[in-house]
Structures are given as structure tokens and as C-alpha cells.
Amino acid sequence: MTYVLIHGAASGSWYWHLLAAELRARGHDVVAPDLPCDDDEAGLAEYAATVVDAIGGRTGLTVVAQSFGGFTAPLVCDRVPAGLLVLVNAMIPVPGETPGDWWGNTGWEQARREQDELDGRAPDDDIALFLHDVPRELAEEALKRSRPQSATPFTTPWPLPSWPQVPTRFLLCRDDRFLPAAFLRRLAGERLGITPDEMDGGHTVALSRPRELADRLEAYGPAS
């Protein structure tokens, strides 16, 4: 099986390095490209093309997307023969919606405010928001490896007329402070008509719990 791993905004393939090592150790192929997030000429189409080019002629594909990768992954699945799409703490688009409008359309701002109040998080503490359950040294490395994020793809309407015809699973993390669990439960039901699977962990679960995440992905198996 080939796992295609699509990272979120202001990130890169390094985010997946622990999960990729787990999956490769179990005999799987892994494709984890760097999206052109620092390129002001690149929109959602270019993000998807980057992933499709990295896949090449591989088959037996399970596409996995985290956070903002949820806007790119369905575009990839519309172009390659993916057997399964797994969204992990991911944004879920609808036709014609821009990523910039997604936040207001989904009620994310209120959900985040409520979560911040519960957590007592300082507004400028990114580790507490994204990396609170990641070992400190690894969390600091993650912040150092963050990349500039162009605003261009956030102005691009999601181009598909409907969700691609690929089996889709949603895996949320109960301790996610950026995309809170209650918010994602509602969104997955409203936009995909599915009940999400759940595990412990925060927004960057591929860093905090790579082995458990690999177990979850393997348990899905290839789509029938």
C-alpha cells in the first residue's frame, strides 16, 4: 500500500517524518511532498498538481490529509485512483468555498474562542495551541521548521462540484485545540454525512502519537 501524506498550512513534509518512518517500517510506501505554500503564484490547483506529480505511477493509494490539507486531498483523489481518503483533524470544503471563507462559514471562530477559554491558553502561545502534547524539543523543532504561508490558496474557490467518489474516513483528535473535537464532529456530520473516528492527541498528532496514528491508518486497510 502507498500512503500519500498531505500536510497543512505553513508546514512541510517534515511534519510527517515520524509517521512515515512507522509506515515504511511496516512495509508500506510513503509519498509526502512539500506543497508550494511559500509561492504566491500557487493556488489549490498547484497544490494538487504537486501531490499528483509526486505520486507518479503508484497504485494502491491511501490519501491522508491534515488540517488545511483537507482542501487539497479531494482534488488529488479526483485525479488519481485512490482507494481511501482519510482526513485527520482536517478542514472539509464544500463546492465553491474559498479556504478564507471557510472559517466564518463553519463557525470555527466561536468554537476556537470557547476552546481557548476552556484551556486558558495565552493568545500568542503557538505551542499551547498546536503542539501542547508534543515533546518540548520536538515542538520547538516544529516551530523552527514552519514555512511562510502564501495567502493565494485561501482566495481560491474549491473547484469540485461535489465530493469525489472515494471512500472517506474522518479521524479527529479529542485534545485538538485548533480544530476542537466538538466542532469537527458537527462538521463531519454536516458536510460529509459521517460520524468521525476518534483518538487521543492534539492537532499535530503525527508528531505526538505517530505509532498510534499508524495503527489507526493500517486498521482502515485498503478500501474494498
Cα distance between residue 6 and residue 3, in whole Å: 10
- For 83-139, the pLDDT digits (tens) are 999 999 999 999 999 999 999 999 999 998 899 888 887 777 899 999 999 999 999
Cα distance between residue 90 and residue 60, in whole Å: 22
Q: What is the CATH number of the domain that holds 169?
A: 3.40.50.1820
How many helices (H) and strands (E) would you count in the chain? 10, 6
Domain range for 110: 2-220
Q: What is the DSSP letter of 33?
A: P
Burial of 94 (0-12, 13-18, 19+ CB in 10 A): middle
Query: Average pLDDT, whole number, for the chain?
Result: 96
Contact status, residue 152 vs residue 42, Cβ threshold 8 Å: yes
- For 8-52, the pLDDT digits (tens) are 999 999 999 999 999 999 999 999 999 999 999 999 999 999 999
* Number of structural domains found in the chain: 1
- Enumerate residues 6+ apart whose C-beta is below 8 A from 175: 132, 133, 181, 200, 201, 202
- pLDDT score recorded for residue 223: 58
